[in-house]
Amino acid sequence: MNQESQAKNVAILIYDRVEPLDFVGPFEVFITGSNRGKDLNVYTVAEHNRPVIALGQLSINPSYTIANCPQPDILIIPGGWGARTEMHNVVITDWIKEAFHRVEIVLSVCTGALIIAMTDLLDGLKLTTNRLAINELRAILPSAEILEEARYVDNGKIVLSAGVSAGMDASLYVIERLFGEERALSTARIMEYDWNRV
């Protein structure tokens, strides 16, 4: 059996003023839980082929653009102050909507929920986001059931997490869903991370 051909593609969207831990935390979880790259192929993707300037002036070179990235099986949408801009970027929201029909899981981290909320993909779901952005999310989806105390919420195809480090907890949860509890616990042990499973 060719394991390499079965590796799932994990695309992590990055954009200007993204919160570093929102994407680096899940990146670390998925590469650590990838069985040395045999089960998961993790990469960053951005709208443009240029360095992305995250919060704190961290410069990141995306692996791909949305025009040339491998088809994702798992799509991660991180948050940060830049989410308030990208939520109005129809190029990004249209790309997410188009990708949604072919992916297995979409994982929102922190205020990444604001971006996904603009795609109409969250209607009728249980939601969470960064505690400081609850009212912003409620303004977009006033009738949504928002679980303010949840670290992460599983809606099947869409998993949403609360702020920053909660994205690592949700990522470990996705690893558990894909590969079982022992893989997730082993990933957390290797990272020396105290997995909050609430």
* pLDDT reported for residue 161: 97
**Token pair 């990235």 is at which residue?**
69
Q: Mind listing the pLDDT tens digit for each residue in 68-81?
A: 999 999 999 999 99
Q: What is the C-alpha to C-alpha distance for residues 96 and 192, in angstroms, rounded to an integer?
A: 32
Block mean pLDDT (10 aa), the chain, length 198: 70 98 97 96 98 98 97 97 97 97 97 96 94 94 93 96 95 97 97 91
CA 11 to the chain's CA centroid: 8
Token reading at 43:
């990469």
**String of DSSP letters for 53-89:** E-GGG-EE--SEETTTSPPPSEEEE--STTHHHHTT-
* pLDDT reported for residue 6: 86
Q: What is the C-alpha to C-alpha distance for residues 180 and 186, in angstroms, rounded to an integer?
A: 10
CB atoms within 10 A of CB 99: 18
Q: What is the C-alpha to C-alpha distance for residues 108 and 154, in angstroms, rounded to an integer?
A: 11
Q: Which CATH architecture has domain 4-191?
A: 3-Layer(aba) Sandwich (3.40)
